[in-house]
Structure 1
Amino acid sequence: MAVTFLGVRHHSPACARLVADTIRSVRPAYVLVEGPADMNHRMDELLLGHELPIAVYSGYRDPERRHGSWTPLCDYSPEWTALTAGRDVGAELRFIDLPAWHPALAEVRNRYADAEARYNEVTGRLCRAFSVDNVDALWDHLFEIEPADGLAERLAAYFDLVRGDTRTGSDDMAREAYMAQWIRAAAADAGDGPVVVVTGGFHRPALMRLAEQGDRSWPEVPQPPVDAVAASYLVPYSFRRLDALDGYQSGMPSPGYYQHLWESGPADAARRLTEAVTARLRERRQPVSTADLIAARATADGLALMRGHPLPARVDVLDGLAGALVDEAIEVPLPWATRGSLRAGTHPVIVEMIAALSGDRVGRLHHSTPLPPLVHAVLPVVGGPGEERLDLGEEAGRERSRLLHRLRVLRIPGVVRTSGPRLMDGAELVERWTLTESDDRLPALIEAGGYGVDPQEAAAAALAERIPGAGLDQLADVLFDTALCGLGELTGQVLDDLARAVGAATDLGSLGRTLTVALAMWRHDDLFRTSGSTTLGMVVATATRRALWLAEDVRGGPAPADLHRIGAVVAVRDALRHAGPSLGLDTQAALGVADRIAVRQDAPPDLRGASLGLGWSLRGTAAADPARAVRGAFVPASAGDWLAGLFALAREEVLHTGGMLELLDELVGELTDHDFLVALPALRQAFGFFPPRERHLIATRLVERRAGGASAWDLTRLDAAPELVAAGRALDERVDAALRREGLITP
């Protein structure tokens, strides 16, 4: 067989040149490339004349699994130069790897991701031998900066050493066996004609061995199961998504730099890298002087010489720039000395340097590129940039809202809701959205096309994917999203799961949140079109009873108010008030629970206050003397937490009961400065349950009681933060105490 095996590193300019030069020299009958074999019949589509980077996005969905993966291609991808050079010399082009949906690639998100984790031991030894920090610097040192003479031999030696005796898993074995059959078939069909095989270097040694003997018939392209949906589409890609330093494990970091390296060589790439960093920093008003650039260039040249590089490599230039532009101590390792996304604490100048190396190139598909039906269904109706106000009381507003919510659920960029119905307030009938242009919108729509052919079907599939294994909080979110999207069929499935989860719930806060959602949907039929559901009513009733049962079992001493727990009691009150008679809820039994908790000293203060408020708000009168209850609960360490529960449930009752505000004013006024500072954070949280109008009413009454004709606005509009005022008072008290202790002032 006249087969030339080229093992490459994905997205390597040096490998891309070698592949193109070899194909033009050999002029093979076949060019075989590691890539999804189910795209072979669409090779003309792939080579239409797109602006790279692009990717083949493959989506798969069956009743048990959903998977999405990318095969990214840029100008300097060896796979891309293999296809374009092969087309130029008239070769037959074939992808020879398994389709992306195949179980052998079930864990693969990016087909051209680095596999160095499988041979860390070897690359680690090489990095130590050549005194470099990581595999990226090692690769540049061995291949990208060195002259092209002997490159094929050096690559072969490198990948032979890297593969070594590595034991591969069953997934790699399946892929390599499949690719080897393509190679044998192509070689047999070519006769005496040459064949060029371009694959990741890790696979090259095994493929050379496997291609020597075996079945020489053309392999079948695997088909997805009959109950599965699998499709592949071209998507615009970006350097940002391709950058390993941005957290995406592609073959190479800093794609902007390697684009320059591909186009004009290492010397010009180093110059352009420095220019890009300088321009980016100056745009952000970071001073970069000519002297800084001279120092950076001198340092980079010196490092290149010391490291044995004929020209400055990427790390030489970066180290030179970092030394010249960063004066402070660097607390975390430099990003190019490691792999993966940037770490917290990375110096801002370093962050901007990495962004400059990444580049901002975004691919563009040729106008003739086939797109999934979802794209055609959405783009004409999504609308241009701007603000939208939707009246949910009108059918047109509701229909528009459902479309936008479906796009939101599908994570389509540039579609953001700024206000509207929330979990805690489903009755709001005005919704506002902000629509913006985004380069990522088309790729996101193409990728979402794997969920369905239109926004309704796609959103339903995306939401259904969130159900398995979801907890109560997550199911509540899914339930609310299905209602906002107008997906009644899915709501039934979520309700069944929700009803089962509610019956076994152990967390009062999560249960309360779920009850809030279910009740809002049960009540507001004009908005959600979900009332009358037997299952939904069962969720409300079961959650109400379960919440009361859980609340009576809660124990705990003084602790910060748990707003989720308080919210659960609010949800119980609303359920009893708005759904009690219809769903057969026993309000008297609930009041009995509330009365018992309100006087139980081993219950948390916030829950005791909320329970008193629950009974007060439902009856219209407190079960016991509220003034006495307030006095009994007014302990500095927990008074605010108790009041938070009370105000959340019986805000209006407290406000309009004679003498209550005066009593609270008296109790606060009796606190020592120290006790007031202890109680202040929780008191602020408690009074935060009053809306602005009611806070103004409280301030008016307090001013009338204490200051006569002063303005309530002055009391509610401090020039300084309350915490600062309190801290000032504490400081004054300490100063006075010190002066008295030293006899400088008299008591």
Structure 2
Amino acid sequence: MSVSVLGVRHHGPGSARSLGDELERLKPDIVLIEGPPEADGLVELAKDPGLEPPVALLAHVPGEPSKAAFWPFAVFSPEWQAIRHAVEAGIPVRFCDLPAAHSLASGPEEPAARPDTPDTPDGEGPDSGIPAAVRTDPIGTLARAAGYDDPERWWEDVVEHRGDTPFQVIAEAMAAVREGHVADAYEARREAFMRRTIRRAVKDGFERIAVVCGAWHVPALAGPSREGAAWGAGLPTVKADDALLRGLPKVKAEMTWVPWTYGRLAAWSGYGAGVTSPGWYHHLFTAADRPVERWLTAAAGVLREEDLPVSSAHVIEAVRLTQSLAVLRGRPLAGLAEVTEAARAVLCEGDDLPVELIQRRMVVGERLGHVPDTTPMVPLQRHLREEQRRLKLKPEALDREHDLDLRKPLDLERSRLLHRLRLLGVEWGTPQESRSKGTFRESWTLAWRPEFDIELIEASAWGTTVPAAAGARVRDLADGGRPPGPAAPQGTAGPGPGGGGSAAPAGVSLAGLTGLVERCLLADLPDALPYVLDSLSARAALDSDVTHLMAALPAMVRAQRYGDVRGTPATGLAAIVDALLTRVCVGLGGAVTGLDDDAARDLLRHIDGVHAAVALLDGATGAEAPQGRWLATLRGASGRSDLHGLIEGRLTRILLDAGDLDADQVGPRMSRAMSAGHPPARAAAWIEGFLSGGGLLLVHDARLLALIDGWLTGLAPETFVDVLPLLRRTFGAFAAPERRSIGSRVRSLATGAVAGGEDVAELDEERAAAAVRTVLMILGKTEAE
């Protein structure tokens, strides 16, 4: 019987290559791998060609999605190569690390957060019975002994870039570094369980046992190296290990395979061995020969795809520079640092922007793994996979833009799926502002993230399909459940989908409910919509704050409009919109008085929102139509004497633009607002409110411009200084062409070209005749008419 403990670096291409050769030589009859034993039953899936790295083992506690951990594998991970060797050779594989059922039960400390090298151990409790841990950085210690100031560079030079370092040498190096090391409680229990698993394999009669683990653990699993000594000599006893493992907390943990990305592998790793350059490591593992030449050739291809001029001569010179840098620095093979410097200097000609492109596309990589349909999944995950196939929306690691035309059935179904997932907290798609002005267009940015699988598992409590789960989640949100999204803590889902009532609880705002109605229509959830509308009606009937009603109305109008565009039935929505508008019209008169500056600005925002929303409503014209009732309300409010200047000016401008007032009526109002009887600050606020609709009015109405100019030039110097910030903010919001046109008109006033508010420049009738004839021709009229 022989036990071979093979120390590797997690996600190390050199370790993976050496491990494959060593397993071929040893020909073990069982392979033990550092990882959670709950995954033993999932190893056989590695035979399926549909299981494509990068993938990860996901352990989670049902009902507690915040308790979850990942163990990722890339094609260059030694553990993945050990799995592949075992399944191809037909020998059993067992995972030998501490079970996830224990590690997930112990609180925030997870196996996915523990490093290979115990340089950040936890403090020990007074009753642990384990001495305080001694901090050690083994890679740093060995690198310093070899004269390196960069531990990562030393490890790459002696292991990753060579691929032929004997495992015995690594074991001896780690044994020397671990002299005097005292493991913390978590590490001691992990290593005790690994030894227990090895003993079980020996007891089961296996003769040739290969153990694949992080190099740091080798001395704790192999024991002192003595000629002829059986395995286990010098290691802790069975009794000592059992004492360490006795009484550990335990939860019910479930395990499955999920897709992973190289981008997430670069961000953090389940083994703590962070890989900042997974694309480079993948290349080192898969490129059998001339890796530098192949890498730079591929980099040139990436740049050419972006229409950057890169020739074969560039590649040849970059290879020469890379090799020269490696020789100068005494490296056995040029590393990523040398390759990147050569690419920057030669291929990118010193420009950092193309280097960032290479970094994103190649160094990190765009790879997203895949798991087969036979992988254990919750029904919601499986349904989403079917929907992705049906709608031809392939999950991808990098951001990809999608412009949807809602008039097309396929695009409409895609939009509904993305909106439903957002209701479930799965932010696969992020809405973007559409370049089209039509409501039948939507723009999305799609990027799949590994943690979405956890969110789908959490959302599976609401239903087995995406529409059913989204509908149940909407009903819960209407009852006061926590909104979905990245800001919501995991594990805080509200009550189950079966409860609820029609009355909205106090924790749900009226604006929140109207926004939920809009999202419900976007996601096409007709079964949940009546429930939300009942909650909305109940809340609106109890809410007496007119600003709340005004904040709620625009979303309701948009929801009604989207329902028309998408063909979504929204029975009862028009009645609620009409009731909200009626209550806003009744309460606005009392809400516009007695306001300070901040309250006036807040109310002005609501007035503009309601005005824009009312313009979208279809209906008959006249005093009883929505637009007629709203304008009548604004007309009545604008005549009050106790209005804030900002509100009065804005109401006047809205009525002018709507044709309810003409320029002859606006002129006296502006004169009164800027009269000496009002403080200059109020006059400035009136002008700000009046001009917030745009400055072209002053270009075309010389009388109003003259009134403002006369008021401004008549201010005392100290008063002018006081109102200047208000005026600067007002005119600074205009577009540059508008400001230039207003300036030109003001110069005309100064030179006397405009008098009495009327332009007296003579009209050249001969030059204008041609334009007049063209306009009449377009209108189908003659000059006589």
Same fold (TM > 0.5): yes
2:148 is the counterpart of 1:152: no
Provide the rounded CA distance (Å) in 2 between the counterparts of 1:130 and 1:704.
85
2:293 is the counterpart of 1:271: yes
Correspondence for 1:32: 32
Per the TM alignment, residue 314 of structure 1 is displaced from its structure 2 partner at its CA by: 2.6
1:90-489 paired onto structure 2 within 5 Å = 91-100=91-100, 102-104=104-106, 108=110, 110=112, 118=120, 123=139, 134-146=150-162, 148=164, 150-160=165-175, 170-190=185-205, 193-208=207-222, 212-214=236-238, 225=251, 231-244=254-267, 251-265=274-288, 268-326=290-348, 347-365=353-371, 369=375, 372-381=378-387, 383-385=390-392, 387=404, 389=406, 405-410=419-424, 448-449=456-457, 451-452=459-460, 453-456=464-467, 458-459=469-470, 489=498
Provide the rounded CA distance (Å) in 2 between the counterparts of 1:488 and 1:418.
31
Q: CA, structure 1 residues 254+114, in 2 after alignment: closer, same or farther (shift >3 Å)?
A: farther
Q: CA, structure 1 residues 662+320, in 2 after alignment: closer, same or farther (shift >3 Å)?
A: same
Q: CA, structure 1 residues 78+578, in 2 after alignment: closer, same or farther (shift >3 Å)?
A: closer
1:467-499 CA deviation, whole Å, 9 max, x = no partner? 999989989999xxx9xxxx9758769954xx2
1:111-136 CA deviation, whole Å, 9 max, x = no partner? 79766863785555666666767554
Q: CA, structure 1 residues 512+147, in 2 after alignment: closer, same or farther (shift >3 Å)?
A: closer
Per the TM alignment, residue 309 of structure 1 is displaced from its structure 2 partner at its CA by: 1.8
Provide the rounded CA distance (Å) in 2 between the counterparts of 1:582 and 1:377.
39
Provide the rounded CA distance (Å) in 2 between the counterparts of 1:10 and 1:494.
55
Give the length in aligned residue pairs.
628
2:601 to 580, 602, 606: 606
Per the TM alignment, residue 610 of structure 1 is displaced from its structure 2 partner at its CA by: 6.7
* Paired letter, 1:517: G
Provide the rounded CA distance (Å) in 2 between the counterparts of 1:322 and 1:313.
14
SS at match of 2:257: strand
Q: Give aligned-pair identity as a percent.
A: 23
Q: Which runs of 5+ in 2 are unaligned?
A: 121-134, 224-231, 393-402, 559-572, 612-628, 676-680, 707-732, 751-785
1:342-380 CA deviation, whole Å, 9 max, x = no partner? xxxx64423424522334444444565555433543444
2:544 is the counterpart of 1:529: no
SS at match of 1:7: strand
Verify the 8 A CA contact 1:281 1:288 in the aligned structure 2: yes
Verify the 8 A CA contact 1:57 1:233 in the aligned structure 2: yes
1:375-401 CA deviation, whole Å, 9 max, x = no partner? 543444553349563799xxx999997
Q: Which has the larger radius of gyration?
A: 2
* Paired letter, 1:190: G
TM-score, with normalisation over the residues of structure 2? 0.61
2:722 is the counterpart of 1:722: no
Q: CA, structure 1 residues 76+400, in 2 after alignment: closer, same or farther (shift >3 Å)?
A: closer
Give the root-mean-square deviation of aligned CA atoms: 6.2
Q: CA, structure 1 residues 538+368, in 2 after alignment: closer, same or farther (shift >3 Å)?
A: closer
Provide the rounded CA distance (Å) in 1 between the counterparts of 2:183 and 2:478.
35
Per the TM alignment, residue 32 of structure 1 is displaced from its structure 2 partner at its CA by: 0.7
SS at match of 2:41: helix
Correspondence for 1:596: 594
* Paired letter, 1:53: P
* Paired letter, 2:105: P
* Paired letter, 1:687: G
Provide the rounded CA distance (Å) in 1 between the counterparts of 2:29 and 2:260.
31
Provide the rounded CA distance (Å) in 2 between the counterparts of 1:657 and 1:476.
47
* Paired letter, 1:528: L
SS at match of 2:34: strand
SS at match of 1:687: coil
Provide the rounded CA distance (Å) in 2 between the counterparts of 1:477 and 1:665.
50
Provide the rounded CA distance (Å) in 2 between the counterparts of 1:86 and 1:315.
35
Per the TM alignment, residue 53 of structure 1 is displaced from its structure 2 partner at its CA by: 1.0
2:693 is the counterpart of 1:687: yes
1:615-651 CA deviation, whole Å, 9 max, x = no partner? 9959836667638668x72xxxxx5x8756x589x76
Provide the rounded CA distance (Å) in 1 between the counterparts of 2:479 and 2:150.
40
1:15-54 paired onto structure 2 within 5 Å = 15-50=15-50, 52-54=52-54
Q: CA, structure 1 residues 129+462, in 2 after alignment: closer, same or farther (shift >3 Å)?
A: farther
Q: CA, structure 1 residues 489+653, in 2 after alignment: closer, same or farther (shift >3 Å)?
A: farther
Verify the 8 A CA contact 1:9 1:200 in the aligned structure 2: yes
Verify the 8 A CA contact 2:36 2:95 in the aligned structure 1: yes
Per the TM alignment, residue 87 of structure 1 is displaced from its structure 2 partner at its CA by: 4.2
Correspondence for 2:719: none
* Paired letter, 1:103: A
Per the TM alignment, residue 33 of structure 1 is displaced from its structure 2 partner at its CA by: 0.4
Verify the 8 A CA contact 2:54 2:369 in the aligned structure 1: yes
1:669-684 paired onto structure 2 within 5 Å = none
1:517 to 512, 515, 540: 515
Verify the 8 A CA contact 1:410 1:462 in the aligned structure 2: yes
Provide the rounded CA distance (Å) in 1 between the counterparts of 2:582 and 2:673.
43
1:155-189 CA deviation, whole Å, 9 max, x = no partner? 22554466666665544444333333212222333
Q: CA, structure 1 residues 52+521, in 2 after alignment: closer, same or farther (shift >3 Å)?
A: closer
Provide the rounded CA distance (Å) in 1 between the counterparts of 2:171 and 2:420.
50
Provide the rounded CA distance (Å) in 1 between the counterparts of 2:114 and 2:33.
12
Provide the rounded CA distance (Å) in 1 between the counterparts of 2:97 and 2:705.
82
Provide the rounded CA distance (Å) in 2 between the counterparts of 1:609 and 1:583.
16
Q: Which runs of 5+ in 1 are unaligned?
A: 330-345, 421-428, 503-510, 549-564, 634-638, 689-694, 708-719, 738-747
Provide the rounded CA distance (Å) in 2 between the counterparts of 1:128 and 1:84.
35
Q: CA, structure 1 residues 579+185, in 2 after alignment: closer, same or farther (shift >3 Å)?
A: same
1:232-283 CA deviation, whole Å, 9 max, x = no partner? 3333444444335999976433333323322345x52111111111111121
Per the TM alignment, residue 48 of structure 1 is displaced from its structure 2 partner at its CA by: 2.8
Provide the rounded CA distance (Å) in 2 between the counterparts of 1:364 and 1:572.
41
Q: CA, structure 1 residues 252+95, in 2 after alignment: closer, same or farther (shift >3 Å)?
A: same
SS at match of 2:255: strand
Verify the 8 A CA contact 2:391 2:414 in the aligned structure 1: no
1:648-682 CA deviation, whole Å, 9 max, x = no partner? 9x769975245565467879999xxxx9xx99996
TM-score, with normalisation over the residues of structure 1? 0.64
SS at match of 1:103: coil
Q: CA, structure 1 residues 682+207, in 2 after alignment: closer, same or farther (shift >3 Å)?
A: farther
1:98-121 CA deviation, whole Å, 9 max, x = no partner? 454633585559579766863785
1:497-548 CA deviation, whole Å, 9 max, x = no partner? xx23x6xxxxxxxx674365378799999982125646x5554456544968
Provide the rounded CA distance (Å) in 2 between the counterparts of 1:513 and 1:232.
41
Provide the rounded CA distance (Å) in 2 between the counterparts of 1:147 and 1:590.
77
Q: CA, structure 1 residues 327+56, in 2 after alignment: closer, same or farther (shift >3 Å)?
A: closer
